[in-house]
Structure 1
């Protein structure tokens, strides 16, 4: 069954090869039917909460199965994505077709912008592997009278970030943490900063050791407000993360140190 493909650390190439041998429409239908047998769907309240947790109305995406390795999702292809930003997908994605082929536009990722690459048609015998660290993909708009679904297996890379690009200029406009724990720590640090909690610097001094660059940087900023000299002493620690964006942010502090 398709969910076995994310039960172990299989390579993207192996997963793509297996997809070619499976009836992916039948496999996805099995996952959908399995959802209805879950305890979380037993009553209306928990069912609504579960649906909210596994669906994204903004993108038309529904997560059907997930493990600590990755997830399997389907997405409705629409005709009205022309104004939405472009988002990178951390990790490796394996895109697969269900009953109908679909098209994606590929872009080469650079540090601050995208470069248009090519368009690819995905059908049942031609799944597509996308390395999110190098390539961004965008679903081509579907015709209004045609309802289509696209399938995707995402092999997670929680240490990577989600980059957001303007669709017209292809310039990078935002940087979002992919790791859920990183997002929670960021919110906590921002809250401590907003309320000016006197214990905020102690929390920041612990979180400056966090592996995610966004959390470590925010912690350093909060610590700098309380004790600039102590904050500067942590700059070499953050440099060890070897993150180009973080290195740019640290450059002025390095000179000050």
Structure 2
């Protein structure tokens, strides 16, 4: 992890080419997330540096696949609540306190974390993070009360774009959508491959079965269950 941090810091000092008004606006939109109250200050292909505003506790908990270094800002101590990932359910772990002198490292492959304030500030507080995400793993969403998994989101931006593209092509009944699906069924992300298979199956159930061995080679339990459900209906 030391090597990744050094690389991130080295690239931080790389001169940035002047941007046009349109590219600046696009960059601002890309670095802000109003839903999570997060601003990404710097991003490379290996990691990012972000700031998050902490206020009321959201009703959902989100996993962050990869590793993160958390630190508080403005000398505001913050509680970090950890949860152990147990398949489709969370188990409560320990609670630690971070401040400007005591950061914390979280391994997002095995744990999920959440924040809360020690001293209730009306304007909330800021927490900084240095993140090294694992794009191959999905973001899992859990209900805060039951601690059960309720949804998932693709961590890889390209996977999310392809999923949206396939949905749009299918919605507008674009005849070229089948050709796109035939290419994206080879995509590494199982959700993209499955969506492509669904489009091919709806277009020609018999012909789509030729792709079943390709998907089975992935040995993905969730994907295999979906394939079995299709075979049962057929």
Residue 101 (structure 1) aligned to one of 61, 77, 82: 77
**Separation in 2 of the partners of 1:110 and 1:228?**
36
**Separation in 2 of the partners of 1:141 and 1:154?**
21
Instruction: Rate the CA distance shift 1:244–1:132 in 2: closer, same or farther, 3 A.
Output: farther
Report the counterpart of residue 7 of structure 2 in structure 1.
7
Task: Tell me how far 1:155 sits from its aligned partner.
Answer: 0.6
Structure 2 gap segments, 5+ residues each = none
Task: Tell me how far 1:86 sits from its aligned partner.
Answer: 1.0
Relative to total residues, which structure has the larger strand share, 1 or 2? Answer: 2
The TM-score normalised by the length of structure 1 is 0.77
Task: Report the secondary structure of 1:245's partner residue.
Answer: helix
- Decide whether the 8 Å contact of 2:69 with 2:104 is kept in 1: yes
**Separation in 1 of the partners of 2:78 and 2:62?**
19
Report the counterpart of residue 39 of structure 1 in structure 2.
18
Report the counterpart of residue 138 of structure 1 in structure 2.
114
Report the counterpart of residue 105 of structure 2 in structure 1.
129
Q: Which moved more, 1:48-57 or 1:214-223?
A: 48-57
- Decide whether the 8 Å contact of 2:78 with 2:117 is kept in 1: no
Residue 70 (structure 1) aligned to one of 35, 47, 52: 47
Residue 181 (structure 1) aligned to one of 140, 155, 158: 158
**Separation in 2 of the partners of 1:121 and 1:232?**
54
**Matched residue count:** 227
Structure 1 gap segments, 5+ residues each = 9-14, 16-30
- Decide whether the 8 Å contact of 1:100 with 1:123 is kept in 2: yes
**Separation in 1 of the partners of 2:160 and 2:6?**
24
